[in-house]
Structure 1
Amino acid sequence: MEYEYGVLLVSCTPSILGLYNKTDDKELRHTALILGVLALVTGVLEKIKLPVALSRNGSPGLFYGYVVVAAVLLQCSMNQEMHAKQFMAMSMELTHFSIWMILFSLTSWLFKCSSATINSYIRDFALVTIIGYFMHAALNLPINLTLFLRVVSCLVVIKITSYYLPNCFTLGEMLLLYNLLTTFLLNVTYFESNFEITVIATWVLFFVMLFLMSLIPICLVGIMSTWYFYSSGFLLLACLLIVLSESIVPNAIHWTIDFLWANWPHRQLLLISWLIEIFITVLYVTFWRDHNGKSSTSERKIFHIIILLTYIPGIWYDIPLLLLCSVGSVCILLILETMRVLKIPPLEKVLNDSLSVFIDAQDSGCLILTPVYLLLGQSLPIWISCLQDPSLLTNPNSKVPIAAYSGILSVGLGDTAASVIGSNFGRHRWMGTNKTVEGTFAAFFAQSAFVIFLSETNSLIYVFIAILSVSLIEAFTCQIDNLILPSYMFFLLNVQSS
């Protein structure tokens, strides 16, 4: 844990300083300065026993939850002219949100509160509200209802997660996902553009999130049923189709045919190759399930290779298709995992039998999230890159930023090389971990070779430093690397274009 934080601090400092020096805007520089302070504070908080049991091997991973998303949004405000002010506001609100959450953590630790009592939560929140109010007043920081509700809802989510979903998340992972979700839901109109692809992807993701969130109160009161699951799902699907057909795609059939036949022959070949990869994946999973085998870490990396074969050609030849299909795939995986956990027929048994073979050591709770994280980790850098540069969706000759490859580099290539080489040829282990030095060097060289092959940037030294940092974090982190590594690498690489 100490080594991981050391790498994080050393690698993120130049990036945050770069953000500070890139702009003369006082608010942006002020936000960058606060993020730098938060990066230091998270190291201190890692040493403190938090009032909720959301950690893995003693590490809650606070840096990823408190700093990464806000920093990426700050980069977006510098890279994206159309909605620069909106992205700046999002980053500032997340930064202030992190301050409030840190105050809550410190107050709970100071008073030695137990997370099992509602009274302690109410008392802590009252104290934090008073302290936070005077702090914001002294620093002349804005306080709004959205920020207040965000903090309250996050505390409720932490309470529910620690009680009903133990060992499923660390606090850092949960906060990272919470920040991504709430930022998307609160600013859904800003993530649209004049392009049909982004509008469709945005509203599909929005309605799926709405559907899954609507299930939470039903599950908490214990009245979930198969009938409710399917009826509410079909109702929201109908609402989605109405929204798309009325305001976005009036003639859905005609639009679908035009979309599928556009970009000949790249789009059609990509779709055929992806269908073949899906078929191979199903055969592979079925083989392991029927033979009652338990896959090793190296054998699970076949899914990383399939991801590489999916995303690399997609980025090279058809980003609009990749964007739409990746959003759909993430939504499908989330719905399937929900069906598995809630035991919704008819797929519950098949999903349980198939996924149990490939359970990762980090999937120690009732949720199996590594497949979702794998897909989300590959997709997020591409989604954000398209937000920053919409020409990626309209101009086939647009230069794809190296940051868009963050998931491919860190997980697809780096994590796979580290696992395969480390487990088969590793002899020297890093202190305090089972990861090997040989695996880390394999991760570094695999990613570096791909970057040299791409030749997408002139700042190769900075890219190599980012790759080395993420390779070391992969060796030391206790967080789920499928999500954490792409997010952090995107932050490091995206600062080049800020």
Structure 2
Amino acid sequence: MESKKSKNVVHSEVIRTDYFSLPKSLKRKYITPFIILDQQIKRNLINGGIKTRPVNSNGLWCCSLLPAILCIYAYFYKVSLLYKIVACVSIGLLVYSCLFILFLSVSCVVLNYDTIHGGCTASTMASVLLLYVFLEQDLAFSILCAFPTLHLYNLLLRFCLLSHPKTFTVGEAMLVSQGISLLTITILIKVFYDIGESDEEMEFINTIVNTVLSTVGLIVTALYLLTDEQRNLGNLIKILLVGFIFTLMILHSIIGVGFLPKILYYIFFDKNRVQIFTFWLSLVVIAVVVLVSRTRLAVKASTVTRKAFHVLASLVFLSGLLLDVNLITLASGIGLALIILIEAIRKSQIEPISGALQSAFDVYSDDKDVGSFAMTPIYLFAALACPLALVPAHAGAPLELLAGVLAIGVGDTAASWLGSNYGFYKWRHDNNRTLEGTAFNIISQIGTVYALQLFELLSTNNMIIRASVAAVASGLVEAHTDQVDNLVLPLVSLLAFQATYVLC
């Protein structure tokens, strides 16, 4: 009896704290059913022995962010055929996500399916119909795009939740799995199909990025398949060497004999890029020096200290987005591959490299990094870079490309610093976010955009109004969500920018 009572108390407490500021009628009609659904899924996961990241909610709403952004851009803007294809496939992922949520609300048995089930098949058909009817694509091509993507999404979702306890919430697992699945199908379409993309420079960049990401994927797979006896420095060097040779062979076959001088010229000498690269290199050196010195001291870094790396990463992306979008696109693709590779080596248990990386992780790990992987730095890099992949060329693109920098590098960092030092009034008793931090979050984003406009580094129509709407949206979400900020805030900012698209 007492146990049942305590469960009811916890249930009511979660409902009360999650949306305390809304009118009661709105709570009962619209919000309460979703809270009850969320709690039912949490109970089913606990009963099934599945451990998600320990937070109050599952973040089910995250599954709609990426498909919504893709579909809005595909509908309202002039985008490439590839972009439209990916948007249609994302709708299938959203349909399956909704069905997956309904299945989880009944039982977690859906996670134990080893094969494709009815929900996945139905979601595949939704994408196939969109591709075949609205984009007038060949039926075989539509099936080849939709079926592998949905199947991969199903496998990744189960892999995230079953094989890596305490690493993801359900919503975070959905969002990460969606991103990987859509990135994979994008690369495959570019490799095996000619869909009429004519930008020679972007094709050059995409070739390099896709090759590097593919190589890292193969290296990570090889590290994963090593036995305990094979996990030594010699085998690691062999795997990296084979990966390097594979990359050279692929680039040679696609770009041509002089691919290496061409790449070096593009990075360092074309359009005076050597100055930009030198600035980035100086920031990287600063970050490495601080990281090594702090690791040697073995003193746990505070939240504010960790935000210093947010500032350094944001300076890299801000300078690239303002001065040379194509170069930062190339750099972000290679940088993401390197971060994934470093994390894979840390988890590979190959000494002494893995031990050194683990020491740095112990010092700088976030309280959200309680699972199998250090997802926070990967999320940070992906957050800053995701607008490059999601925002098509249009009048308001220069501002929207800064969504990650503004939401994470500026707003979240400002909120963390001021909230921890001067914050007094908390949003609620179980939340460490303060009203002062949120206010500074919003003001700092607007102020940054105003400064960029003042120094004529950025100029789009009604940019202050649009930035204000995005800042308020991301600031309020940052104050109330318990999902990883680095993952969701840039996408929320992009949706807010899209909501004000008429102003651009």
Equivalent residue number for residue 29 of structure 1:
none
Q: In the superposition, relative to structure 1, how do residues 41 and 83 fare at CA in structure 2: closer, same or farther (>3 Å)?
A: farther
Q: Give the CA deviation at 1:176.
A: 1.5
For 1:6-405, what aligned pairs fall within 5 Å after superposition? 45-50=37-42, 51=45, 52-64=50-62, 66-78=63-75, 81=78, 83-84=80-81, 86-110=82-106, 112-113=107-108, 118=112, 121=113, 126=117, 128=119, 144=143, 147-188=146-187, 189-190=189-190, 193-195=199-201, 196-213=204-221, 215-216=223-224, 218=225, 225-226=231-232, 229-259=236-266, 260-264=268-272, 267-385=273-391, 388-389=392-393, 401-405=398-402
**What CA distance in whole angstroms lies between the structure 2 residues aligned with 1:408 and 1:462?**
15
How many angstroms apart in 1 are the aligned matches of 2:127 and 2:176? Answer: 26
**Cα deviations across residues 433-462 of structure 1 (Å, max 9, x unaligned)?**
110000000000000111222343333334
Distance change (3 Å), C-alpha of 1:187 and 1:156: closer
Once the two structures are superposed, residues 174-227 of structure 1 have per-residue CA deviations (whole angstroms, 9 ceiling, x without a partner) of 2222212111211224497422223322332233234435655x27x8786346
Change (3 A) 1:129 1:296: closer
Question: Distance between the aligned counterparts of 2:129 and 2:251, measured in 1?
Answer: 47
Contact 1:381 1:403 in 2 (8 A): yes
Judged with a 3 Å threshold, the aligned counterparts in structure 2 of structure 1 residues 146 and 2 are, in CA distance, closer, same or farther, namely farther
1:469 maps to what in 2?
473
Unaligned runs of 5+ in 1: 10-38, 392-397
CA RMSD in angstroms comes to 3.7
Taking structure 1 as reference, are residues 200 and 81 closer, same or farther at Cα in structure 2, changes over 3 Å only? farther
Distance in 2 between the 1:381 and 1:3 partners? Answer: 35
Counterparts of residues 417-428 of structure 1 (less than 5 Å): 417-428=414-425
Give the AA of the match of 1:284.
V
Determine which of 457, 460, 470 is the counterpart of 2:460: 457
CA deviation digits over 1:455-492, x for unaligned, max 9? 43333334312210100111111111112111221232
CA distance in 1, matches of 2:77, 2:235: 42
Cα distance per residue 1:13-42 (max 9 Å; x no partner)? xxxxxxxxxxxxxxxxxxxxxxxxxx9997
Point out the more displaced range, 425-434 or 53-62: 53-62
- Tell which has more relative contact order, 1 or 2 (C-alpha 8 A, sep 6+): 1
Mapped to 1, the partners of 2:108 and 2:328 lie a distance apart of 47
- 1:136/1:311 CA distance change after superposition, 3 Å: closer
Instruction: Summarize the Cα distance change of 1:172–1:213 in structure 2 as closer, same or farther, 3 Å threshold.
Output: farther
Among all aligned residue pairs of Structure 1 and Structure 2, give the percentage whose two residues are the same amino acid.
23
Within 2, Cα distance between the matches of 1:370 and 1:247?
A: 34
Contact 1:97 1:147 in 2 (8 A): no
Q: Hey, what's the Cα distance between the residues in 2 that align with 1:40 and 1:91?
A: 31
Task: Evaluate the alpha carbon distance shift between residue 399 and residue 430 of structure 1 in structure 2; reply closer, same or farther with a 3 A threshold.
Answer: closer
User: Structure 1: how far apart are the matches of 2:317 and 2:305?
Assistant: 20
Q: What do the CA deviations read for 1:39-70 (whole angstroms, capped 9, x no partner)?
A: 99977743431545435413222222x21111
Within a 5 Å distance, the mapping from 1:397-416 to structure 2 comes to 401-416=398-413
> CA 1:496–1:201 in structure 2 vs 1: closer, same or farther (change >3 Å)?
farther
Contact 2:127 2:146 (8 Å CA) reproduced = no
TM-score, normalisation: structure 2? 0.78
Name the CA shift for 1:409/1:314 in 2 (closer, same or farther; >3 Å).
same
Seen in structure 2, the aligned counterparts of structure 1 residues 134 and 225 have a Cα distance that, compared at 3 Å, is: closer
Q: What amino acid does structure 1 have at the position aligned with 2:366?
A: D
CA distance in 2, matches of 1:254, 1:138: 45
Taking the aligned partners of 2:17 and 2:66, their CA distance within structure 1 comes to 18
Shift of 1:406: 0.7
Q: Distance in 1 between matches of 2:274 and 2:129?
A: 60
Preserved CA contact (<8 Å) 2:92 2:150: no
- 5+ long unaligned stretches in structure 2: 1-13, 23-30, 134-138, 192-196, 454-458
Amino acid of the residue matched to residue 95 of structure 1? I
Aligned CA distance change for structure 1 residues 199 and 79 (closer, same or farther; 3 Å): farther
Would you say the 8 A contact 1:429–1:437 is kept in 2? yes
Aligned partners of 1:137, 1:305: CA distance in 2, in Å?
A: 43
Distance 1:94 1:288 in 2: 42
| Residue 362 (structure 1) shift | 0.6
Q: Is the 8 A contact 2:407 2:471 kept in 1?
A: yes
